[in-house]
Structures are given as C-alpha cells and as structure tokens.
Amino acid sequence: MTLNPAEIGAVLAVHGPVARVLVAQAKGSVPRGAGTSMLVWADGFQGTIGGGALEWQALARAREVLAGGGPRVDRIPLGPALGQCCGGSVTLVTERLEVVPPLPWLRRVEGQAGAPEMRGFAFADGWLQEVATSPARPVWVWGAGHVGAALVGTLAPLPQFDVIWVDTDAARFPAIPQGAERLVAVDPGRAMAHAPGTAEHLILTYSHEVDLALCHAALVRGFTFCGLIGSASKWARFRSRLGALGHSDAEIDRITCPIGDPSLGKHPQAIAIGVAARLLSRTPPGDLPMKDTT
C-alpha cells in the first residue's frame, strides 16, 4: 500500500491540486496501517485512513495544506483525546500535490537532517520514501447478475484484489464500482485464456453451459482458486462432464462448489460475504502484496 501514480493522475485531472494524507507510521492498535493514504480536494475526498475523529481532523488539516500550506507531519495518539479506544498511534504526512510524483519518491517532510539510506517504503529522520504500488491478486468474476454485482461491490474496494468483471453483453452490467474493470466477452470460455495463471475465478453466469465452458477453460488455463455457484446436483453433473472432457478427479477437485458459506443463505449479499471471507482467509501463492488504497 503506497504510491499509485495512475490514481493520483486521474484525480488531479478531474479536481486539480489535491492534498494527500499518508499514514507514514503506525504503532499499536490502529484503524489502517502504514502506507494507507487518501486524496482530499475542496469539497470531497477519495480513500480512507480509518474514519472517525482521526479522519475528520485529517481532512481539516489537509484542506489547510491544500489552501497553500507546506507539508506537515502530525503524530497522533488514538486515545481519549480523539474519543477512540484503539490504543495505538499514527504519524500522518500531509502534502499538496499539483503533479504526479516521480518514483521512487524521496523527500524531506520535516527537520534538517541529511537523507539516510532508505529501501522501499520508509519514514526516517524526517525523510519519506515511497515506491510504486505492488500488484494485487487478480480476481475474475464471471457474470454480471445479482450475485456478480454483489460480489464485485464487496471485493472491489478491498486492497488485496484487482477485480475483472466479465459478461457477454455490456447491457448486463450495472454501474462499475471503483476498483473493478469491466470486460465484455462474447465467448467467455475463450476469454479465460487472457486471465493470468495466478488468477482467482468466481463463476456465476446466467447459463449452466457457459459455466461448464468456463470450468473447462479454467482447468486448461490454470488458476490459484476457482469457485462455481451451484447446487450439489449441478456440481455432480459438472464433475461427470468435466471428466468426459479429459480432466482427472484430482484436477476437478480443485474447483470449489458451492462458493461462499451456505449457512449464510442464498441472498446475493450473503453469498458475497461468504466468498469474500473465504478469499481473504486464503494465503495467496508467493504472498502477493496488496494494491494501493488511496
């Protein structure tokens, strides 16, 4: 969770100069960790550093910086003074941005000390360095129906995931939330070949035949997780048909059906909560880092 030039550039293009609030250090129990940031303009903001009194104070300071102040560093205990019981403390660095910063971005934000040796994201001796956002886990959601919309709405804001939302017709998509990318694919099975081999797939289209084609394509392409919406009887039929297509029992067992937590019920939001919990509890191969959350 650190600098995302593309996101900063998009906000600058719409709103002009902004103030950026960054959690440079976090100690103890805090709402968000070091590297979390938010962008603030005169009548709005994007991102969150944890909400509550901390964020409201940060917004006020950010708008002071936006109005012409230089960078400021605030060390804030999250105790009774803020009406919060987290018990930790954060150091916030607030800066005015008029252009997209270079990478890596090394600058002095307080004091007079010379620059120390720094690697990656670091805050030391009044100097702050940020590097490019690391790639997140690719999650491909196949189907833009009610369950697909609930899943994308739940997963897209999470920093762990980059969400690709796929369906056969652009008209099937509702509004695309920030953090998700739409892909229209007339033949979803062929589109599977464009997914990275590390992708996590959630298959829940309007058609059992499309679902089956996607399961087959996923087994051919490779994946780190593949979940299919459906009943026990649907999965029994799919297992038989996937076997007839040449997949071994061990390969077919890699597909999870049903997805989510059946005990939560069949409401789209309940399914989305169960799926999100399952994905969040998984340890991705290679311990992939998270994307930026500005």
Q: What is the residue extent of each domain of the chain?
A: 5-130, 137-281
Task: Identify the band that residue 292 occupies on the pLDDT scale cut at 50, 70 and 90.
Answer: very low
Q: Are strands 161-167 and 180-184 parallel, antiparallel or unpaired?
A: parallel
Angle between helices 232-244 and 208-221 (to 10 degrees): 50
Q: Is the pLDDT of residue 288 over 80?
A: no
pLDDT the model gives residue 70: 86
CA distance linking residue 38 with residue 54, whole number of Å: 13
Q: Is the pLDDT of residue 167 over 70?
A: yes
> Which candidate, 53, 33, 54, 44, places its Cα nearest to that of 11?
44
pLDDT the model gives residue 108: 95
Task: Identify the band that residue 86 occupies on the pLDDT scale cut at 50, 70 and 90.
Answer: low
pLDDT the model gives residue 179: 80
pLDDT the model gives residue 82: 63
pLDDT the model gives residue 213: 97
170-226: pLDDT as tens digits: 999 999 988 888 999 999 999 998 898 889 999 999 999 999 999 999 999 999 999
pLDDT the model gives residue 271: 94
Q: Is the pLDDT of residue 284 over 60?
A: no
Q: Is the pLDDT of residue 39 over 60?
A: yes
Contacts of 52 by beta carbon, 8 Å cutoff, 6+ apart: 31, 82, 83, 84
The torsion of the CA quartet 95, 97, 100, 104, rounded to 10 degrees, works out to -20
Average pLDDT of the chain is: 89
Task: Identify the band that residue 149 occupies on the pLDDT scale cut at 50, 70 and 90.
Answer: very high
CA distance linking residue 134 with residue 264, whole number of Å: 33
Superfamily of domain covering 137-281: NAD(P)-binding Rossmann-like Domain (3.40.50.720)
pLDDT the model gives residue 291: 40
17-24: average pLDDT: 96
Task: Identify the band that residue 81 occupies on the pLDDT scale cut at 50, 70 and 90.
Answer: low
Angle between helices 268-281 and 146-155 (to 10 degrees): 40
Per-residue burial over 239-257, b if 16 or more Cβ lie within 10 Å, else e, is beebeeeebeeeebeebeb
Q: Which of 5-19, 154-168, 238-252 has the highest mean pLDDT?
A: 238-252
